[in-house]
Chains A and B, each alone.
Chain A
Amino acid sequence: MTKNYNFAFLDEGSKREIRRASLKAVAIPGYQVPFGSRELPIGRGWGTGGIQLTLSLIGPEDILKVIDQGSDDSVNAVNIKKFIQFCSNVETTIDATKASIIQSRHRIPETPLRNDQIVVLQVPLPEPLRIIEPSEEITKKMHGEMDYSGVWLELYESLIKYDRITVSSDYPCNVEDRYVMNPSPIPKFDNHKLHEAECLYLFGAGREKKIYAIPPYTKVVSLSFDDIPFEVESFENKKCRLCGSTGVYMDEIYDKETGEVYYQCSDTGYCSMTRRKTEHE
């Protein structure tokens, strides 16, 4: 059945263009490389940037993991996984240590990743300056001149209004003291995983037609004021009700009937792997 499609759905020319854009992105960490976003069987803005990156990277030997907000089993993750498998026949997994390509939306896996792994992140809004400047022509110039006062102003405004920085996801970072970038809507809890990482991160925005990258061992610093340190979500004294993990990013689940509040790992793959391990012991 897959024979009716080219391997990994896209034609070879398209894949080559996406790879070229990816290589340029790796060469200039944090810089948004424009690319001709292709039509896919799903609408733009539904993970199409990530899917195109994955399709351009994947080979028969690869093992794929797809997660959506940490979950391997959510509708989007399952459908994307099925689609890629359908047109490439690659093996899939929920084990982050086994996967060679991990496509994700809104989370970076808890398990530290290796340098033979690639994380593909889906990006809705790649441009950190868009919120203060609607024109692409001008934001390009602003990047060129490192004019990032607008991004800082956004953070400062939230300090003025709420006495703290309220940005909780897609928290802007500075890459190699050059480009300011949106790390995609990962919680700021995950921002440190981009810094000096072993794996390659690729970011794809299908609707906005941009690709950017954080290659291994890149300096990625979350923006913060001198007198107000960067803080992440704290899950102190909380542990996962399923696997017992601590120090990971957790979902809060509220039981309407009993009024009880539970915490459990947002990364479901990590959670089940931890449980499997403890069951073996």
Chain B
Amino acid sequence: MNESPVLKVDNLTVRYHDGCPYCLEGGKLEKNRCPVCGAVYAVNDISFEVYEGEILGVVGESGSGKSTMMKSIYFDQEITAGNAYLGTYHDGEKDIFTQNNQQKRYIRNNIMGMVYQNPMLGLRMDYSSAGNIAEKMLAAGNRNAAKMASRATELLEAVDIMTSRMKEAPRNFSGGMQQRVQISKALANNPSILLLDEVTTGLDLSVQAKVLDLIKRIRAKYRISILLVSHDLSVIRMLADRTVVMFDGKIIESGLTDQILDDPQHEYTQTLVYSLL
């Protein structure tokens, strides 16, 4: 395959604490913690790629570094080392981590869409749903009120929210609806990659199914690449084309989702898959 990736992450590391000669030289860690100085390697030297129209699943237990990795890519978290490139940002030639804050803001608003597990982080709860979507477009420099209104209508329809409730604030909505508003907000500027962080966690099963179905439809409709973080293997099985498994801040296994689920190689993955009964 010769196509260039939409997102390419190289050797990303997020370390809390300065580190010491022992762990900086690659000494053996106790899980993700240096036994000498106590530095925690939340994300430890991971690399992966996301291609166009693909859903890449990231699975792993709590504390394995999934969310930290996601936050770093969206600039919510300072990184220690590593590079990342976006196919639609300077043709994937500029490391997005070394850009200035203004450029990072541009990337966040124009190239990436983020959906947090907690809708409070992604939405302004007291502003209207249409206003929430407009905020993203305003941030990207859109100044046409009619266009923003029609885009909000289109997106809210796409996520099955009645347009009669467009003017209502997400605070009045149920958890599943809030999550759908958040997804539509993330899609406002046609981002080239959507970051989904545990989007269905905390929703009941039927609502979960609806949101998952929606993600599938959105992928089909907008041909958007998705980086999907979840601790839930059934979500990964349903959505992800390829999957990486994270454990103690490292990627321990990666490949086609079916392959990983049917024939897990790493001991941890085996436990994970067999616990899913």
Interface residues of A (CB under 8 A from B): 132, 141, 144-147, 149-150, 152-153, 156-157, 159-161, 225-228
Contact = CB atoms under 8 A, between A and B. Distances in A.
Interface of A is mostly: helix
Nearest to B127: A157
Contacts of A153: 124, 127, 131, 134-135, 138
A72 to B, nearest CB: 40
Given A160-B128, A160-B131, A160-B167, A149 B144 contact: no
27 contacts: A141-B101, A145-B101, A145-B102, A145-B105, A146-B102, A147-B139, A149-B135, A149-B139, A150-B135, A152-B143, A156-B131, A156-B135, A157-B127, A157-B128, A157-B131, A159-B145, A160-B128, A160-B131, A160-B149, A160-B166, A161-B128, A161-B167, A225-B144, A226-B143, A226-B144, A226-B145, A227-B147
A153 B146 CA distance: 14
B261 interface: no
Contacts of B147: 227
Nearest to B148: A156
Contacts of B139: 147, 149
Given A160-B167, A226-B144, A227-B145, A149 B138 contact: yes
Nearest to B101: A145
B144 A227 contact: yes
A226 B145 CA distance: 7
Contacts of A160: 128, 130-131, 149, 166-167
Q: In the A-B complex, list the 10 residue pairs whose CB atoms are closest, starting with the nearest.
A: A149-B139, A149-B138, A225-B145, A152-B138, A226-B144, A157-B131, A226-B143, A153-B135, A156-B134, A145-B102
A144 B148 CA distance: 26
A161 B101 CA distance: 33
A159 B138 CA distance: 14
Interface residues of B, number: 21
A156 B145 contact: yes
Contacts, number: 50
B136 to A, nearest CB: 8
Contacts of B124: 132, 153
Given A226-B143, A227-B147, 14 more contacts: A132-B124, A146-B102, A147-B139, A149-B135, A153-B127, A156-B135, A156-B148, A157-B128, A160-B128, A160-B130, A160-B131, A225-B144, A227-B146, A228-B145
Contacts of A145: 101-102, 105
A149 B139 CA distance: 5
A227 to B, nearest CB: 5
Contacts of A226: 143-145
B270 to A, nearest CB: 46
Contacts of A144: 101
Of B139, B145, B146, most A-chain CB atoms within 10 Å: B145
B170 to A, nearest CB: 13
B179 to A, nearest CB: 21
A149 B232 CA distance: 35
Nearest to A161: B167
Contacts of B127: 153, 157
A147 B134 CA distance: 14
A225 B144 CA distance: 6
Interface string B105-142: 10000000000000000001001101100110011000
A225 B102 contact: no
A228 B149 CA distance: 13
Q: Name which of A144, A145, A160 has the most chain B CB atoms within 10 A of its CB.
A: A160
A225 B101 contact: no
A225 B143 contact: yes
A8 B144 CA distance: 50
A226 B147 CA distance: 10
Nearest to A223: B143
A227 B166 CA distance: 21
